[in-house]
Structure 1
Amino acid sequence: MPVDDHQLRTCVVLGGRGFVGRHLVHRLLELGNWTVRVADSAQSLQLGPSEHDSFLSHALSTGPIEGSSVVFYTEDADSSADSRRSDFYLCYTIVVQGAKNVINACRECKVKRLIYNSTTDVVSDGSHDICNGDASVPYASTFDNMWSDIKAQAEALVLFANHIDGLLTCALRPSNVFGPGDKHLVPFLVDIAKSGWLRFIIGSGESMSDFTYVENAAHALVCAEEALCSQMVSVSGKVFFITNTESMKFWDFGSLILEGLGYQRPMFKFSTTMVQYISLLLKQVHSRMNPGRHNHFESVQNIIRLASCTRTFNCSAAEKHIGYTPVVSLERLRLLKEAAAMVVEGGAATVAATVVEGDDAGLEGITATIESFSHLAKDSSNARYREFDEQSKVEKLLGSGKVADILLWRDEKISFTYFLALVVLYYWFFLCGRTFVSSTAKLLLLATVALSGYSLFPSKVFGLSVPRLSSSCFEISEKDMQITSTAIANIWSGVSHLTISLSRGEDWNIFLKVAASLYFLKSIVAHFLTESVVFALVLSFTLFFVYEQYEEEIDRIVEVLCNNTREAIKSSLRILPVSVTSLLPGCEMSHESGMAYCNEGSRISDS
């Protein structure tokens, strides 16, 4: 129902061209009881085709602050490009000095309320966990980046201005805001994914984070304004954490976004310290080889900061005092993977036709997010796209079982444990100076003593229960025995057929292959057995893993090498006489043209 002009209230959205600001302007105008003025430090705004005649376009033409009852200050990280954010003086001028100017303008123009959109980064030092943090969490003693430092200063200025000249202020701290128009979090993840670093889970992968869908951040600002009008004591001068109230693992969120846009899901774990050292080393090498050129290593450090610490926040104060509850659930974003793939293939209309029906805000939020980032999706026309649930070549080669999981480092701890155990066995059998039989006997004796000693342990030691080994741990299932027996029978059958063929002298090729293989094996065992075992051990835990990670690149390199080899062979054959090349396998002489052809008609040489 239309609202009369005398019922309209006037507000200003500072930073209304930015990420959160744009969504706030849309939300205020949709409510129908606001006259919205937009001001921004940005120089220009690119409106979408459908926005030129909209309320937003009209709002941009109006002037700010004087005559307004409330100012929403949403100047955020996304309003400053990376080049600007690296300039301390410029950032300080825009954020801190800008906050002072806004406060002074509000006081001079008798504005009643000022609501500042801050960030959870103001309480994080980037190295310590924050679990279920609330308003009692102090500002960080040290900041891991310049932007968080100056945002904290600006927030403090706004809160300090509360109740001065009748101005009421409060601040909201949304965590990891994302959604349509995001120029920070999602593009940041995609940029790192393109560089190849997000093939790995950095750290334990268990660190929890809170995320805030952009429409929820805008909704919280509106809630804060309404609460500031009616509950001044409990809201003015206060800060409120804003999230989707659904904490999740950082890597689960990143995987959801990346899978939806066609990038490979991070699967392999590496310790934070290892990645930091590798990143710093590669950064130094890159800077020396390519001085002045942009690289991804600063972004890698940011990913380490985001993913290595738990940062979760309590929104109960926002729920109690400003009446905030998320309007778009994070759970609904689990449709992103399927929907994003549909957008890449068939556009947003396909998504609208296939995504299950739900509330309008949820459906619009999902569709808008996908449309916003479909241009960042992996181009399936330039690279062979493989569904992430599909097995890789090397996994199929290894049998897709436990061996594949270990050699492909599906779980870093398990794979490293097996690698360490094999290294210990290698030392025990090859480097300790004993014979193989003696080493085996001592190993069995050690295992017997260990099992016997374990059985003597009481059920509890220093209050800790000691688990007992059940007899099933030493039993082999019938199915495993059948598989093992079948494999042994197949091998024995193959050896028998080979032996029979050799004894009859039926195939000289087989004889030569067997003789060469046995001679090669004898040479290795006699001279290089120790080196060969350690070489095979290292390669088995590295080559399979590397090949799966760079399967497409390695296949292309092999294809190029094979093509070049074939061309080299053809070039070599061209210099031979036709009478010689015609005798080679696969080549024949054309009596009509006097040319030799090999490999299905490729001309080798002329007569």
Structure 2
Amino acid sequence: MAGHGEEIETTDESLLEKTTDKIHRDSSSSSSSDSESEKKPKFDDDDVKKPHDAPSLSSSLKSKSNRLFGREKPVHQVFGGGIPADVILWRNKKISASVLAGATAIWVLFELLEYHLVTLLCHISILVFAILFLWSSASKIINKSPPPIPEVRIPEDTVLQFASALRIEINNFLQMLRGIASGRDLKKFLAVIAGLWVLSIVGSWCNFLTLFYMSFVVLHTVPVLYEKYEDEVDAFAEKAMIELKKQYAVFDDKVVSKIPRGPLKQKKKD
């Protein structure tokens, strides 16, 4: 019995020693971890830089600088915003489809069916006046209300505003043509000559109505496609502009620089 009691006491002492050793190890490890955490510098949330902040800012600046023609506004604002931009960019598909269908119907009438504008306007007017006249005459016989014919008047302020805006645009266009013809900008001169030459070739292929309809279709298809594939088109346009600048530099070095300058140009340079 005495031996059994001694064995129980030794086992109790060994268990007590193991538990005390474990407690000491846990306390020492927690103190060491606390000391290491105190040694490490602490940063605030504001000091820590998020990895996605800098790339997003740089990518946004890069995307703005590489836009087509150096534009900074979105495509919707480039076209003036509002209803015209919504129609061009197909924001309202019903209105855009109706406008394009109307233009197509006009082109089919005048180009394919060889209908004349004056004839069409006269036939539409005859039909409208006949319907309104018969409706008004029948309403008196059957004692019903006549057709509501609105009184249309063009306000003077609207006409003056439109004329003023048109005058400003025409003057700006004439001033631009004067600047190009005066030899101030060679790039604009070459661009205008190239554009007129291409327009003359296209005009020899088709008449004015077909050319106008083609321009209308391009206006209703190219901007919406560009808005959809904006990044790809801007990247390609950037490469094309770099190549054009290289070719223009070669042309300037070999041709333009060898053109004799007048005395006015030399005085300006001096």
- State the TM-score, normalizing by the size of structure 1: 0.25
Q: More helix by proportion, 1 or 2?
A: 2
Greater fraction of residues in strand? 1
Structure ranking higher on relative contact order (CA contacts 8 Å, 6+ apart):
2
